[in-house]
Amino acid sequence: MSVDLELAPKTKRPAGEPCCTPVVYPDVDREQALRLAAVAKALGDPIRLQLIDVLRKHAGKVCVCELVPLFDIAQPTLSHHLKKLRDAGIVDSERQGLWAYYYVIPGALDDFSAWLS
């Protein structure tokens, strides 16, 4: 992986103790960090995390009218959370007549999962 951030070892130190002898390297560049953090941010809400949990375990498309009664929030709030997950590229939706069916985009969490492991 490429290194995006530079490393500037400290020179001034009041004592002779070794402060900056071990050099650290970031393995994730800024753009990759932005993408991964966007996914993490989308998962950083309990309701959205449970939404992903439901959609993933179901392994299919789930109607919004099924998701609403699962959580103690108003319908516009749920729609807002689903939009956040859509904007993060984690889920997508499909309209069938009057209903909207949501599903987790296959492989959308792979990069983040790989970084975390």
Partner DNA sequence: TCTTTCGATCGACGGTTGCCGATGGATCGG
Partner DNA sequence: CCGATCCATCGGCAACCGTCGATCGAAAGA
Residues that bind a copy of itself (CB under 8 A): 5-10, 14-15, 17, 19-20, 22-28, 30, 33-34, 36-38, 40-50, 53-54, 57-58, 60, 62-63, 65-67, 69-71, 96-99, 109, 112-113, 115-117
Q: Is 30 in the site for DNA (CB under 7 A)?
A: no
Window of 9-17, 23-31, 49-57, 108-116 that interacts with DNA by CB under 7 A? 9-17
Cα separation, 88 vs 42, in Å, equals: 6
Q: Name the 3-class secondary structure at 96.
A: strand
- Closer residue to a copy of itself, CB minimum distance, 42 or 82: 42
Coil vs helix vs strand at 102: strand
Which pair of structure tokens corresponds to residue 47? 């309701």
Range in contact with DNA (rule: CB under 7 A) among 28-36, 51-59, 65-73, 104-112? 65-73
Say how many residues make up the chain: 117
Q: Does 54 bind DNA (CB under 7 A)?
A: no
Query: Is 9 one of the binding residues for DNA (CB under 7 A)?
Result: no
- What is the CB neighbour count within 10 angstroms for residue 114? 9
Separation of CA 110 from chain center: 10
